[in-house]
């Protein structure tokens, strides 16, 4: 099998991660979770969409391994998974033409982009 062919499910996982990152709402949620863990209702608050729609976004981020969700009493909490982008970073580095991805710098970039993005 060629080197570029699927290998042991890694490509499938990367597909899920990159698909999750492709949506601006999900990137905004990740940026919010950089600060601290948040209750689902707090995550939903700044968005003009239903709690059900936010829950779908959170489900996609959870399946991608980018966040985890945990129930404490009646409240469901979301937490950013710090190593979640490691596989994507390693994949990008494998091309050699890219410098190593600095996740701290990437997080700061996301924060700037989201802060400076025009409101809808």
Q: Write out pLDDT tens, residues 49-90.
A: 999 999 999 999 999 999 999 999 999 999 999 788 887 888
Looking at residue 92, its pLDDT comes to 76
- The CA distance from 59 to 75, in Å, is 16
- For the chain, the average pLDDT equals 84
Looking at residue 84, its pLDDT comes to 81
pLDDT band at 100 (very low <50, low <70, confident <90, very high): low
Of 85, 84, 82, the residue nearest 93 (C-alpha): 85
Q: Quick check: 104 pLDDT over 80?
A: no
Tokens representing residue 67 in the block: 């966040």
Looking at residue 4, its pLDDT comes to 46
3-36 pLDDT, tens digit per residue, is 444 455 567 888 999 999 999 999 999 999 999 9
The fold of the 10-116 domain, in CATH, is Arc Repressor Mutant, subunit A (1.10.10)
Looking at residue 16, its pLDDT comes to 92
Of 83, 67, 71, the residue nearest 27 (C-alpha): 67
- Within 8 A by CB and 6+ apart from 71, the residues are 77
């Amino acid at each position: 099998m060629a080197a570029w062919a699927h290998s042991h499910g890694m490509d499938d996982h990367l597909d899920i991660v990159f698909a999750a990152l492709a949506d601006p709402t999900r990137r905004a949620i990740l940026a919010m979770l950089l600060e601290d863990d948040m209750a689902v209702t707090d995550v939903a608050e700044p968005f003009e969409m239903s709690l059900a729609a936010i829950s779908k976004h959170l489900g996609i981020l959870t399946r991608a391994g980018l966040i985890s969700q945990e129930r404490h009493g009646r409240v469901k909490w979301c937490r950013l998974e710090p190593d979640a982008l490691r596989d994507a970073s390693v994949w990008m580095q494998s091309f050699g033409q890219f410098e190593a991805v600095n996740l701290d710098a990437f997080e700061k970039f996301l924060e700037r982009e989201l802060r400076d993005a025009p409101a809808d």
